[in-house]
Amino acid sequence: MLKDYLRLHFIVLLWGFTAILGKLISLPPVELVFWRTLLASVGLLGLLLMRRQSWQVGLADAARLLGVGALVAAHWITFFLAARLSSVSVCLAGMATLALWTSLLEPLVLWRPVRFYEVGLGLLTMVGLYIVSQAELNQLLGLSVAIVSAGLSALFSVLNSKFVKRHTPTRLTFYEMTGACLSIMLFLPFYGRYFTNGTGLQLALHGNDWWLLLVLAGVCTVYAFSASVELMKRISAFVVNLTINLEPVYGILLAVYFFQEKMSPGFYVGTAIILFSVLIHPVLDQWNKRRQRQPAAAEVLV
């Protein structure tokens, strides 16, 4: 079990490393995500063939999964854009609002009741965001884009919760990566004409871009995903979710190490408040589930 826990933390560390890679790769965000999704979809197809798993789904589900893939593309583009517009630390502070976005979107999309402790944690997150924004006024645009990226991530995560019951995770992710890649391909002509300031598309890879992209797509996406699915068979979902919430912490520590990012004291105070609300959320969620099960158990005993 210790080996599994260490491996899980290593996977979360890899996910926290993606913002570092996005900063190091010379490609603009749109071209970067195009290469990432293309390589990841090829890698996932190879994984399906190697494991002799079926990659076929119904036409309606295929269309829905490809559509969710477009959301994935929008999330990753805004994520890497936020890392370019601000520091990696500020980008990850904005991404830490994922739990807040999920608590807002789940009742709307899944029609579940609002949980009052999530409302309280959401308000606490807003306090942390306000402190961060006031401490880093010069990086407010990057923080705002990161918050939007977190919202897109929460939306496709909530939508995915409807599909995981019908499809294997590898097949599901293959279609979503393919959908992300295809949506960017359709967007590239429009993007190259109106959003590149006359420079055109920059799809050519330079210097270390090739091996950094292979690490991003192969290690941080395909390997990290497949390994996390394997670990979920032996580790409880509660522990997995709690550990995944450490991703911004690992990412900020990596940013300090690689880029010597030094932020103001207010940034760390605000980020600590946000991360506290993120880390306490699965604990309160677990407590709420146990509380709901107790009356049911009492009725059975009666």
Q: Which residue has the higher pLDDT, 299 or 21?
A: 21
Highest mean pLDDT among 20-34, 107-121, 282-296: 20-34
pLDDT of residue 237: 61
pLDDT of residue 224: 86
Domain with 11, as residue range(s), is 2-301
Whether residue 245 contacts residue 278, with contact meaning beta carbons closer than 8 Å, is answered with yes
Whether residue 55 contacts residue 171, with contact meaning beta carbons closer than 8 Å, is answered with yes
The backbone region for 291, taken as left when phi is positive above 0, alpha when psi lies in -120 to 50, beta otherwise, is: alpha
pLDDT of residue 183: 96
* Least confident range of 107-121, 151-165, 199-213, 284-298: 284-298
Of the candidates 187, 170, 161, 186, which has an alpha carbon nearest to the alpha carbon of residue 64? 161
* Least confident range of 236-240, 268-272, 280-284: 236-240
pLDDT of residue 245: 76
pLDDT of residue 230: 73
Of the candidates 104, 143, 105, which has an alpha carbon nearest to the alpha carbon of residue 121? 104
What's the whole-number average pLDDT of the chain? 86
Is the pLDDT score of 299 beyond 70? no
Over range 166-180, report the average pLDDT.
86
Query: What is the domain count for the chain?
Result: 1
Highest mean pLDDT among 8-17, 27-36, 149-158, 237-246: 27-36
pLDDT of residue 121: 84
- Whole-angstrom distance, CA of residue 40 vs CA of residue 143: 27
